[in-house]
Structures are given as structure tokens and as C-alpha cells.
Structure 1
Amino acid sequence: MRAVVRRNKQLVCDEIGELEPAEGQVLVRTLACGICGSDLHALHHMEHMIDLSRRAGGMGTGFDPSADTVFGHEFCAEILDFGPGCERRLKAGARVVSMPLTMTAGGMEALGFSNRLPGGFAERMLLTEAMLLEAPNGLPTDQAALTEPFAVGAHAVAKARLDKGSVALVIGCGPVGLAVIGALKAAGHGPVIAADFSPRRRAAAERLGADIVIDPAKESPHERWEDLGVPKTRAAQALLRMMGKTFARPVVFECVGAPGVLEALIEAAPAGAQIVVAGVCMESDRIEPSIAITKEIELSFVLGYTPEEFAGTLRRLAEAVIDVSGLVTGKTPLEGVAQAFRDLADPEAHVKILVEPCA
């Protein structure tokens, strides 16, 4: 079958071996798979990514970052066949999504970051039957494929200590920031401030329900805190409390993942703010802890999602509680994946591109 393979830090459209479902596995045809920011970084820096993950106790020693890898972990697929021991609760032809993990005799394989099993940039995949969720009939395939990235936003919001009426500031409106905005509004939080230099991304943030959308080139989003009832300094906050008044906890979501952003947020955020770090910075960074200590800033780092958050996200997409229509701005067959990676370097060119391996 055909797949796009990462080989020698290049993307190569090639033939790979056919798949046979083992115990509890399902053979599926990939209908659509999103290109993630982690894919873009892994193309050239996979070895560094895996080294950091292993140092953190993440991916095991069985993965060789220099060997062939088929990316793709944001997918919607169609069931083709079942391996032995399957319950067959869903029928062949059903459209499904799944957390990108497949159980094998040798352990768990992370689809998209595996040498043994291909991810969604292949015509077919092997999934674990017990982890399949059927995409509702009314949910288009391209929207179902956004379940995984939007589950990331749901997890970030779940980890935030938001009060009723908390003001939330989302820095960076790429796919992660947009997922956070969608999850915040789905949970009834607001006001939500969204900030990004890209007009296209700001427009997407507005469609997802951001209450205030700011171009940081023209205005600092931190100028809005006090207008929304959040005093910025510890002294102003103490005075308000002495007067018997309260204010909701300010929460900042860092969704950029670039060096220097976290330190800038520590300095600019209101005292007592929680900064939820969802952007993945792959480089060494520097902060001034004394500033965070003086302001009593709380830092929370988040990754991934729980099975419940994944399933809940699919439900919210299906019910249009989170309206992701219009976020997919491009689709490509396997032959165009390398060019799509280059196109995504320009935030004005696309918001999200889906790979359609069987197109």
C-alpha cells in the first residue's frame, strides 16, 4: 500500500507492506488525517523530540527516530476488516476515530511515531477495536478528523483552575490555541481574549467564539485585564479585597511554544494568574523565577488528553457545540504532503490541512 514515509529527514511517497489485523485489532482505510505541528517539527528534529520524551519518561526505547516512520495521528477512518477475537460491535464501512494508540503483542504503539505501524499518512492502518468511536452520521469526515487536536484543547481547559467569570487569555491562535478557545466556549467560560499576529488565525478565533480578538502588533492583550475587572498588581488586588470585593482568577493559555514567550507572559500577566502551557517549545528557554515568585504566578504544563476528554470532544463536534466548519483550509493526496508541510510554514496560507491518502 502507499504511504508518505519520513526517511532521512525527507517525506517520500512510497510503497510499504500490507497490514494484517492481529488479536483485537481492526484494519481501517484512512479517510482523512490532519497535519499536526508536532509532525512539522518531527520532520527535521525527530531525534531531539524523542530524546526529550525519553528524558521525561515518555516514549520507550523501542522507537528508532532515524528509521522509517509514517506520520499521522489526527484521523478519521473506515473499518475494512477485523482480526481474531474482535467483538465486531461496529460494522465494516463504519467511520471511526480513535486515540492514536494501538495495542500489539509487544505493547502499545503510538501511531504516527512508530517504526512498526503506520499512522494516518498511509492508505490503511491497524487500530484497537476497544478504542474505536463511531463518527456520527451527520458529522463530516473532515470535522471528525479534528477530534484529536480539539481534545488537546479540552485537556488544557480541564487543567485550568477557572473560576466562574474568569477572564481567559489565549496567546497564539494556531491549531492548539483554536482548540483551547473552542473548549473554553463549549464549557461556558468567558470572556475569552485571543491574540495572534496572523489575520487569518484571528478570524478563525472569532469564528470559534473568542469574545475579544487582538493583533499584538497593534495592542498588548494585557491592556484589557483591568477593563474586564482584573487588577494587575498585588497591591491593587489587596486593596480590592480590603474593600470586600472579589475578582475571578485570570488564566493565560500559552499556545505558541517559542523561546521567550513564557518569560514575557510571566512579566505581563496579572499577579496570581495561572499560566497553562500548551504550546510545546522544543528548545531550551529561560525564565526569571523571582518575578514569578513575587507575582505568585502559577505555571501548569499540559500534554495530550484522557479517553473521556477525547470522547467528549467528538460529541461536542457532532452536536456543533464546537463549530469547526471552515477550519480545514486545504486537502492533499499523498503526493502533495511534502508541499503541504512547506505551505503550513505560512500562517496566512492555511489553518489546517488534511491528508486524504486514498484520494
Structure 2
Amino acid sequence: MRAAALLNGVITATDVPEPPELGPDQVLVAVHSCGICGSDLSLWKDAQTFVDVSIAGQNTLSVFDPTRPVVPGHEFAGTVVGVGTDVEGFGLGDRVAGIGVATDVETGEMTIIGYSNKYPGAFAERVVVDSGFLRLLPSGLSFDAAALAEPLHVGESHVQQSGFRSGEAALVVGAGPIGLGVVIALAQRGCESLVVVEPSPTRRRIAAGFGATTVAAPMAGGPVAAVPGDTGGSSLVVYECSGRQGALDELIRTLPIGSRIQVVASPFTPEVFVPVIAQWRQIVVNFGSGPVEDPYGVTLGRLARGEIDTTELITGRVSIEEVGSAFESLLDPEEHFKIVVHPQGGPGE
């Protein structure tokens, strides 16, 4: 089958083997739409560091051999073209999307498709995924829009984990697709003071359209300088979505005493901060711990009900042959917000 494969920092459209045989609880999906994720860009820039950090963090879901080809892509939507013997709730022809997890039938180990030499990701014509991570698409929801559920649900998940409460002020640092997911989740909760700090004018405009009450470019004094002084003494919840080196230390040193930081995006390199400063200033830092209640389903429902206008979010659509050039173009945040790959070549309807 055709796929866009990564090897030695180069993405090439090529022929790759079909996915492994289906396990009893797995589904074969013909991919119609797959978004290019920021983590795909991290993988492309430095696959070895990506794997080294995964190993150090004991994240076996994204460990593979970077000296061999890998097909990225996990923000997928498509049509069921094969079902395992024990699969319930899905049949041939069903329109689906979900979280791209596959359990290796031979080893029993789980992997994220796109970060595996064995289980190709969704920049390929077909993928194998565990049925437990799939959802049927609501009627009328396009494949392209459904593919946005995966990145946007990350924001919903982190807002749930942060314990955001009505009346609190929120500061979102970075307004890429993940940061926008946070903005959407906060706006849906009626956040009345929702501040976004983002260097890209285009992304600031999009964030304002999705409910940010204040948008600003980075400025002297750190992101907190953009927070209005009339928040009424409300506690401040900060969502670090930039992944910028040094961002965490800057926030710890400058936020109001008692603020909470939800780390949504993180660099793959060491981060230096002084723990006692955070302790003295009573700063709570959460790297993604806490209960969640179906953030993917919540996000998919919002998309299906039209509560998330996707017209400005998908700024490019490419074939497998064009994936390499699409990665290059995503280095400029003013050129694109989200590019969707169409492995079957047709529209993502």
C-alpha cells in the first residue's frame, strides 16, 4: 500500500507492507483523513531523541527503531474495511475515528500507530487499531472534521485534569491546535477571563474567535503581563501549551502566588527550574495527572453539534505524495494551522 514514510529525517511517498493481520479485537480502517500533529513534527526533526526520551520516560507506546522506516500519523478518520473475530459494535463500511492504539498480537504490548515500525500510522492507506479506542462518527460529520477530535481532545483532557472552576481566570500560553483545544474547553465552561499569549497574529485571531477574551503577543514580564488587573482576585490557572524551553521556569517566577500550572506541551530537552521558588510561591504544577471523563467523546460531540467551527482550522489538504512538503510548510505558523492528509486521494467528506 502507499504511505508517507519517515527515515533519517526525510519523508518519502513509497510502497510499504500492509498492516499486520487483525487480532480478535482489532479493526482495519481505510484512512480518509489524518491531521499532521506537532508530535509528528518533533519525530521528523529528531527521531532518535524522540525515542530516547520515550525510553527514559518508560513510555513504551512510542518506542521503535529510528534506523528503520516508520509511517507517522495518528489523528485519523476513515471507513472500516475489516473486523476481528471478537469485535462488537463495528461493521464493514462504518465511518469511524478514534485514538490510534494497537496491541501487538504477538507480544501483547500496546503501541501508538505512527510510532511503530510494525503498525503503520495513518499517513498510509490502511491502519490496524484496537476497536476499544474507536468511535462511530455521528451522521453528517465529515472525515476531516472528525480527524480534529484527536488533537482538540487533548485540551479538553487537560482542562478536566486542571480542576478549573467557575469564576477562575485562565491563561493559555501558545495557541496551536493543542492550545486551541484548551481555549475551546474553557470557553465551553463559560470562562469569563480567558487570556491567550501567542506570537502568531493568525493564531491569536483564531483564538479570539473561539472565545479568548484577551489575546496578546509575548511581552516583557512574561505571559502573566497580559492578564488584566481586574480579574477580581480570582485564582489563576495557566495552561502551558507552547512547549518552549524555559517557559516553565518563567511562569514559576512570575505568576501570582497560589497559581496553578497545567503543563500541556513539553520540550524534549532538559528543563531547569528551582523547585524551592515554586514552593515559596505556592505554585502547583501538574504534568497531566487527574481524573478525566471521556474527553474524546466530549470533543467529538462538540464537533458533531457544530459547536466548533472547523472552517478556519483546516488550512491545507494534501495527498500522500505531498506529505513531505506539508511538513516543511508547517514550520511557519502564519502559513498553516492544521494540514490534513488524504491517503485515499479524495475529499475528506
Length-normalised TM-score, structure 2: 0.91
In structure 2, the partner of 1:325 is 311
Looking at structure 1, the residues matched to 328 and 172 of structure 2 have their Cα atoms a distance apart, in angstroms, of: 26
In structure 2, the partner of 1:352 is 338
Report the Cα offset of residue 85 of structure 1: 2.9
Looking at structure 2, the residues matched to 114 and 307 of structure 1 have their Cα atoms a distance apart, in angstroms, of: 28
Looking at structure 2, the residues matched to 304 and 111 of structure 1 have their Cα atoms a distance apart, in angstroms, of: 25
- SS across alignment from 2:66: coil
In structure 2, the partner of 1:212 is 214
In structure 2, the partner of 1:100 is 100
Larger Rg: 1
Report the Cα offset of residue 219 of structure 1: 9.0
**Worse-superposed segment, 123-132 or 253-262:** 123-132
Looking at structure 2, the residues matched to 147 and 217 of structure 1 have their Cα atoms a distance apart, in angstroms, of: 32
Report the Cα offset of residue 67 of structure 1: 1.8
**Is the 1:193–1:211 contact (alpha carbons within 8 Å) kept by the matching residues of 2?**
yes
| Structure 2 counterpart of 1:333, one-letter code | S
- SS across alignment from 1:12: strand
In structure 1, the partner of 2:34 is 33
**Is the 1:163–1:249 contact (alpha carbons within 8 Å) kept by the matching residues of 2?**
no
| Structure 1 counterpart of 2:319, one-letter code | P
**Is the 1:167–1:228 contact (alpha carbons within 8 Å) kept by the matching residues of 2?**
no
Report the Cα offset of residue 186 of structure 1: 1.8
| 299 and 288 in structure 1: CA distance in 2 versus 1, 3 angstrom threshold | same
Report the Cα offset of residue 185 of structure 1: 1.2
Which among 126, 129, 154 is matched to residue 127 of structure 1?
A: 129
In structure 2, the partner of 1:316 is 302
In structure 2, the partner of 1:252 is 238
In structure 1, the partner of 2:277 is 291
What is the number of equivalent residue pairs in this alignment? 342
Looking at structure 2, the residues matched to 318 and 49 of structure 1 have their Cα atoms a distance apart, in angstroms, of: 34
Which among 253, 257, 264 is matched to residue 267 of structure 1?
A: 253
Looking at structure 2, the residues matched to 218 and 115 of structure 1 have their Cα atoms a distance apart, in angstroms, of: 45
In structure 2, the partner of 1:113 is 115
Looking at structure 2, the residues matched to 220 and 58 of structure 1 have their Cα atoms a distance apart, in angstroms, of: 32
Report the Cα offset of residue 331 of structure 1: 0.8
**Worse-superposed segment, 303-312 or 337-346:** 303-312
| 1:141-180 map, 5 Å | 141-180=143-182
Residues 180-210 of structure 1: CA deviation (Å, up to 9, x unaligned): 1011112232321111111111111112111
| 211 and 219 in structure 1: CA distance in 2 versus 1, 3 angstrom threshold | farther
- SS across alignment from 1:159: helix
Given the alignment of the two structures, is residue 24 of structure 1 paired with residue 10 of structure 2, yes or no? no
Length-normalised TM-score, structure 1: 0.89
**Is the 1:186–1:322 contact (alpha carbons within 8 Å) kept by the matching residues of 2?**
no
Looking at structure 1, the residues matched to 47 and 326 of structure 2 have their Cα atoms a distance apart, in angstroms, of: 18
Unmatched runs of 5 consecutive residues or more in structure 2: none
Given the alignment of the two structures, is residue 339 of structure 1 paired with residue 339 of structure 2, yes or no? no
Aligned CA RMSD, in angstroms, stands at 2.2
| Structure 1 counterpart of 2:104, one-letter code | T
- SS across alignment from 2:323: helix
| 1:212-231 map, 5 Å | 212-217=214-219, 221-225=223-227, 227-229=229-231
**Worse-superposed segment, 95-104 or 27-36:** 95-104
Residues 90-125 of structure 1: CA deviation (Å, up to 9, x unaligned): 332221012110133222221110111111100111
In structure 1, the partner of 2:71 is 70
**Is the 1:98–1:133 contact (alpha carbons within 8 Å) kept by the matching residues of 2?**
yes
Unmatched runs of 5 consecutive residues or more in structure 1: 231-246
Looking at structure 1, the residues matched to 51 and 320 of structure 2 have their Cα atoms a distance apart, in angstroms, of: 25
**Is the 2:27–2:128 contact (alpha carbons within 8 Å) kept by the matching residues of 1?**
yes
- SS across alignment from 1:358: coil
Residues 227-275 of structure 1: CA deviation (Å, up to 9, x unaligned): 2335xxxxxxxxxxxxxxxx43211111111211111112221111001
**Worse-superposed segment, 147-156 or 309-318:** 309-318
Report the Cα offset of residue 144 of structure 1: 0.4
Residues 302-337 of structure 1: CA deviation (Å, up to 9, x unaligned): 289968221222112212333333201001101111
Looking at structure 1, the residues matched to 177 and 221 of structure 2 have their Cα atoms a distance apart, in angstroms, of: 22
Looking at structure 1, the residues matched to 306 and 25 of structure 2 have their Cα atoms a distance apart, in angstroms, of: 32
